[in-house]
Chains A and B, each alone.
Chain A
Amino acid sequence: MKPFSYAHAEDPQEAAGRVARHPRAMFLAGGTTLVDLLRLEVEAPDTLVDINALPLGRIEPLPNGGVRIGALVRNSDLANDPTIRRRYPVLSEALLSGASPQLRNMATLGGNLMQRTRCSYFRDPGYACNKRQPGAGCAALAGYHRMHAVLGTSDRCIATHPSDMAVALAALDAVVRTVRPEGGGRAIALTDFHVGYGEDPARESVLTHGELIVAVELPAVPWFARSCYLKVRDRASFEFALAAAAVALDLEGAEGGSEGRIRAARVALGGVGTKPWRSAEAERALAGGPPSETAFRAAADAAMREARPRRDNAFKVELAKRTLVRALHTAARKSL
């Protein structure tokens, strides 16, 4: 681990200013990604600003009926919150499918959005990685890339975005609230927040240096209660996704049966993309049609049409389709 100086911040604006003043400074929240990467010397900040004392740990109702989640709410608290479980079950399920109980007790909402890829070539400074060192090349292209992405890739980077939570938030039309070092803040749609690794691998989000996530807001959409998360992985627990699907369905008539009609749908995929992968193609395919196997399969085909598999990960295309179809069936069977 390279030496760094360490400081606490007590106010979001102060924290943003602290980081902004040092080009190599970073925020420290739960530590579950950052401390690991410090030890691997993949990250080498000269200054850490510990933000755990900031007053950003609450889940609150919004005047418009939505919910505001503070950036420091721990993953376990968010997953087990009664409001989240009832109104946004896909978010609770995604969180509980990720990491281990100990890590969920530590990891924060903001940190989860900012976590780095688990690509083993990124994590090992002995290999070339355009994300760690722009222009160095990508060892994963010719290496072992069974876990890697098939959507949003390029010949510069094929790393998979690792988050489950962010996939659920992408499906739920979440909005990220920030504070900027120069004052003021931004509201950024979750789907615009992450930048697919393929374009410019070193850049992973639209945040500027020193800009701090303070909250994520969820809209008041009653049918988001008919949502679910399905994650397929190599072992039963404590493993990253091979493929995952976050879905929500707005059904009319014959609720829960295949005679009804889908007014609207939300679909996002995990484990297959270089960012949390919202699929407008699948949503268009589903809207107006019946909640049937045929319709779900057509939506899955649409979601994966642009997939570019490589030698070791071609299985992910069919696996992601089947994962999505099964998640849609599960959501359609839910009663509100």
Chain B
Amino acid sequence: MSGDDIKHGNEPGPELDEPEAAAAVKGGAADEMSRRGFLGLSFTALPVVGLASGAVRAAAAVRLPARPAPARLPAGDLTVILNVNGRERQLRIDPRTSLLDALREQLALPGTKKGCDHGQCGACTVLVDDRRVLSCLLLAAMVQGRRVTTVEGLARDGELHPLQAAFLEHDAFQCGYCTPGQIVSAVGLLHEGCPADAAGIGEQMSGNLCRCGAYPNIVAAIAAARKGKPG
């Protein structure tokens, strides 16, 4: 930090190769548009289908209130370079932006889930320098120069990570919302040294809650991956 630049804080980072940076951001945005676009169209289509059915018209009387638009932080005054899943991404962010929101809203990586947003559920677990941490309690600005790995970065050359394969094999989820956090947390646990017994695995996975209660299968999947086999 130099001079009295505390208002904006950060030094300009190393220059990125511009075309690559632009491509990285553009590619991500395109991925997001296709996925979001598809979901948006699906939901738009639903009422049209529903009008044909009296049952659905009746149900419309008790429909949920319209969801507010997702809160968007104002475009920021901080430039950060994040290394996410092996790619460097340059972002302009508001200093308040959490790593979780930067991943989901700006880098088009919605695999990392927002559960409680208070560090109590583990759905937002990512790896920073191979250690499992909670992306909702990190500001994006705090991880500059560190390696961030999300659930999207676990598969290699089209092959699922052994823990992803083990979760499928053991049916280690129901609704799936906590699953990316469970898997990334378990990858971190394998790095740390995973206990062999179910109680030990339970203790070491206590930061990841599953409201469906899929714990027995989650523990079985991790125990299997620990032994180096998905099944």
Contact = CB atoms under 8 A, between A and B. Distances in A.
A40 B125 CA distance: 20
A238 B1 contact: no
Nearest to A99: B207
A64 interface: no
Given A237-B206, A238-B206, A103 B1 contact: no
A162 to B, nearest CB: 13
B139 to A, nearest CB: 6
Given A5-B9, A6-B9, A50-B142, A100 B95 contact: no
B142 A28 contact: yes
Interface stretch (A31-39, A87-95, A178-186): A31-39
Nearest to B206: A237
Interface string B184-206: 01001100100000000011111
A336 interface: no
Contacts, number: 105
A102 interface: yes
Interface residues of B, number: 38
B95 A48 contact: yes
A102 B118 contact: no
A9 B137 contact: no
Contacts of A101: 132, 185, 188-189, 192, 204-207
Contacts of B139: 6, 28, 31, 35, 48, 50
A185 to B, nearest CB: 21
B138 A5 contact: no
Given A5-B6, A103-B134, A237-B203, A35 B98 contact: yes
A137 to B, nearest CB: 25
A5 B118 CA distance: 22
Interface residues of A, number: 36
A105 to B, nearest CB: 5
A1 interface: yes
A103 B138 contact: no
B133 interface: yes
A254 to B, nearest CB: 34
B15 interface: no
A99 B1 CA distance: 33
Contacts of A36: 118-119, 137
Contacts of B117: 39
B134 A39 contact: no
Nearest to A237: B206
B36 interface: no
Contacts of A7: 1, 5-6, 9-10
Interface of A: 1, 3-10, 14, 18, 22, 28, 31-32, 35-36, 38-40, 47-50, 52, 76, 99-103, 105-106, 236-238
22 contacts: A3-B94, A5-B6, A5-B95, A6-B9, A7-B6, A7-B10, A8-B9, A31-B137, A31-B138, A31-B139, A31-B142, A35-B98, A39-B118, A48-B139, A101-B204, A101-B205, A102-B125, A102-B132, A103-B137, A105-B133, A106-B133, A106-B137
Given A7-B10, A47-B6, A102-B134, 17 more contacts: A3-B94, A5-B8, A6-B9, A7-B6, A31-B137, A35-B98, A49-B6, A100-B206, A101-B189, A101-B206, A102-B122, A102-B188, A103-B119, A103-B134, A103-B207, A105-B133, A237-B203
